[in-house]
């Protein structure tokens, strides 16, 4: 592929409820895949961030179990301070990936309002379920949810990590193949 036909780098936002477990896990994994310390950054990724639809943990670091799971899997450079989703994120990010149906529905409502306010889709990021990329398809054609591990045991964090690796890889492959344009 020549430089003139190369896809434009994209920005990706991962979204859960509180921005300390699932979305930070996904962001940490995605950063490790696209910006490894010993290699150049992935040319298709311009920006990566995460946030929550709730404002419960603004300014907090990721949950200690998220960080322990990332560290156990060799991801040690990840840092983040929780933040809430803002309307401007629709303009700042090309892909806004929700961790579950509730956050997806919330983001879709906000997006519809944004599209209506600005009079069209131009410049408004796409809202999708993260589990659409490599996840199991559920009844109704929906992709797999990343369940919130906050109130559970450590195995929930391991599962969120495994899903993040799988979904991130599938998302990157679809970007490379030009299937998301």
Transcribe 50-119 into DSSP letters. Answer: EEESS-TTTTPPPPHHHHHHHHHTT---------B--TTHHHH-SEEEESSHHHHHHHHHHHHHHHHHHT
Active site residue 126: no
Residue 101 tokens, joined: 């149906």
Name the active-site residue from 16, 21, 89, 111.
Answer: 16
Picking from 20, 28, 99, the residue whose alpha carbon sits closest to that of residue 58 is 20
SS3 assignment, position 15: strand
Name the active-site residue from 22, 51, 89, 94.
Answer: 22
The answer to whether the CB of 135 falls within 8 A of the CB of 99 is no
Name the active-site residue from 49, 94, 100, 148.
Answer: 148
CA dihedral for 112, 116, 119, 124, sign (positive or negative): negative
Instruction: Please give the order of strands across the beta sheet that includes 10-16.
Output: 45-52, 10-16, 95-98, 126-129
Active site residue 16: yes
Which residues have CB under 8 Å from 121's CB, separation 6+? 115
Active site residues: 16, 22, 148
């Amino acid at each position: 592929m020549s430089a003139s036909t190369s896809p434009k780098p994209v920005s990706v936002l991962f979204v859960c409820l509180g921005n300390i477990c699932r979305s930070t896990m996904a962001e940490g994994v995605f950063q490790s895949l696209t910006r490894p310390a010993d290699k150049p950054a992935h040319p298709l990724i311009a920006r990566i961030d995460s946030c929550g639809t709730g404002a419960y943990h603004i300014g907090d670091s990721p949950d200690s179990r998220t960080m322990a799971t990332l560290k156990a899997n060799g991801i040690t450079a990840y840092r983040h301070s929780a933040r809430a989703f803002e309307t401007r994120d629709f303009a700042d990010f090309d892909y806004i990936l929700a961790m579950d149906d509730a956050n997806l529905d919330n983001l879709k409502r906000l997006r519809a309002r944004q599209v209506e306010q600005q009079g069209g889709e131009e410049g408004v990021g796409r809202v999708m379920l993260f589990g659409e990329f490599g996840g199991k398809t559920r009844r109704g054609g929906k992709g797999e949810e990343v369940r919130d591990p906050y109130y559970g045991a450590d195995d929930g964090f391991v599962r969120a990590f495994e899903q993040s690796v799988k979904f991130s890889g599938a998302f990157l492959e679809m970007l490379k193949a030009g299937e998301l344009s």
